[in-house]
Chain A
Amino acid sequence: MASYKVLVGLDYGNPSKRVEAGDVVSDLPAKSIGWLSEQLIIELVDEVAPTKSVKKESLKEPLAEVKGEVA
Chain B
Amino acid sequence: MAFIHGKATNVLHNNYDLSSYFNQAAVSRSVAPAETSTFGASAKTYIVGLQDGTLSLSGLFDGAANAVDEEITAILGVNTGGIISIDPAGASFIKGSRVISLTGKLTSYQISAPVGDVVSASADFQADEGIGNSISLRLWSAETASTNTASHDSAASSADGGFGTLHVTANTMNNSSVFKVQHSSDNSVWVDLITFSTVATVTLASQRTTVALGTTVNRYLRATSADSGTGSITYTINFARR
A residues in contact with B218, CB < 8 Å:
35, 39
In addition to A32-B186, A32-B188, 4 A-B residue pairs with Cβ atoms within 8 Å of each other are: A8-B191, A9-B195, A10-B191, A32-B189
Are B190 and A11 within 8 A (Cβ)?
Answer: yes
Contact with A along B111-140 (1 / 0, CB 8 A): 000000000000000000000000000000
Kindly identify which residue among B148, B186, B190, B216 contacts A10, using a CB–CB cutoff of 8 Å. Answer: B190
| Interface size in chain B (residues, C-beta < 8 A) | 13
Within 8 A of B (CB), among A1-22: 8-12, 16
| B interface with A by C-beta (< 8 Å) | 148, 182, 185-186, 188-192, 195, 216, 218, 224
Kindly identify which residue among B185, B190, B192, B224 contacts A35, using a CB–CB cutoff of 8 Å. Answer: B185
Are A32 and B185 within 8 A (Cβ)?
Answer: yes
Residue among B185, B191, B192, B216 with the highest chain A CB neighbour number at 10 A: B191
Given contact pairs A11-B182, A39-B216, A16 touches B148 in the complex (Cβ within 8 A): yes
B residues in contact with A35, CB < 8 Å:
185-186, 218
| A interface with B by C-beta (< 8 Å) | 8-12, 16, 28-29, 31-32, 35-36, 39, 41
CA distance A16 to B148 in the complex (A): 10
